[in-house]
Amino acid sequence: MKGIEFNKIAAAILVTGLVMLVCGTVAEALYFKDEGGESAESATHTEAKRGFQIAVENNASSGAAKSAEPEVPFEQVLASADPKKGEAISKKCTSCHSFDKDGPNKVGPALWGIVGRKPGAHDGFPYSDAMKGFTGTASWDSASLNTFLTKPQDYIKGTKMSFAGLSKAEDRAAVIRYLETLK
């Protein structure tokens, strides 16, 4: 190996090390700052938190106020539910479900005519074994849909539906009223 080749290799190694050193210094200056905005030189970076932290106030009195209010039976909530609101809420479901008559199955089955249909019985959709073997209800009615839409994974263990659920009874009731119109 000639001297010039050795110099090229050594220079490449030195430049690479220098670039890594500069990148590390710039990253530390940009991302690791203490509360005052100064670079946290002496702090360990093992517990650095990424993202934006949202301060949540833990107000115990609001929880007590909620529990003091009497819970309205779901039947009453359902009776006053608006199908138009349910249609708007169900827009988030369109990435996995079709709501059109004779609509195609997507990641989930088409939901036209779901109310009154036996669970796991829509033609042409490959249901999970959990849904096929579900015996909790003979057909989807408002009560079973309410329980399922609250938290699908809790109602039917092993379902492929990854949706977390609708926590508000008013939202579930509106969606159920909308589904009842799809006949």
**pLDDT value at position 113?**
92
Q: Share the mean pLDDT of the chain.
A: 83
pLDDT in tens, 20-40: 999 999 988 887 765 555 555
DSSP state of 151: -
pLDDT tens-digit series, residues 92-118? 999 999 999 989 999 999 999 999 999
CA 116 vs CA 4, 51, 90: distances in Å: 83, 45, 19
Q: Which residue has the higher pLDDT, 77 or 39?
A: 77
Confidence at residue 31, expressed as pLDDT on a 0 to 100 scale = 78
pLDDT over 90, % of the chain: 44
Q: Which residue has the tokens 């100064």?
A: 38
Greater model confidence, 176 or 32: 176
**Residue ranges covered by each domain of the chain:** 1-31, 73-181
Strand partners, 39: 33
Flag whether pLDDT at 41 surpasses 60: no
pLDDT above 80 (res 132): yes
Average pLDDT over residues 63-75: 67
Contacts of 115 (CB under 8 A, 6+ apart): 140, 141, 142, 145, 176, 179, 180, 182, 183
Task: Tell the CATH topology of 73-181.
Answer: Cytochrome Bc1 Complex; Chain D, domain 2 (1.10.760)
Task: Give the span between the Cα atoms of 161 and 179, in whole angstroms.
Answer: 17
Q: pTM above 0.85?
A: no
Per-residue pLDDT, 30: 83
In this structure, are residues 94 and 178 in contact, taking their beta carbons and an 8 Å threshold?
no
If you ran DSSP here, which 8-state letter would residue 49 be given? Answer: P
Torsion angle in degrees (nearest 10) through CA of 99, 178, 91, 118: -50
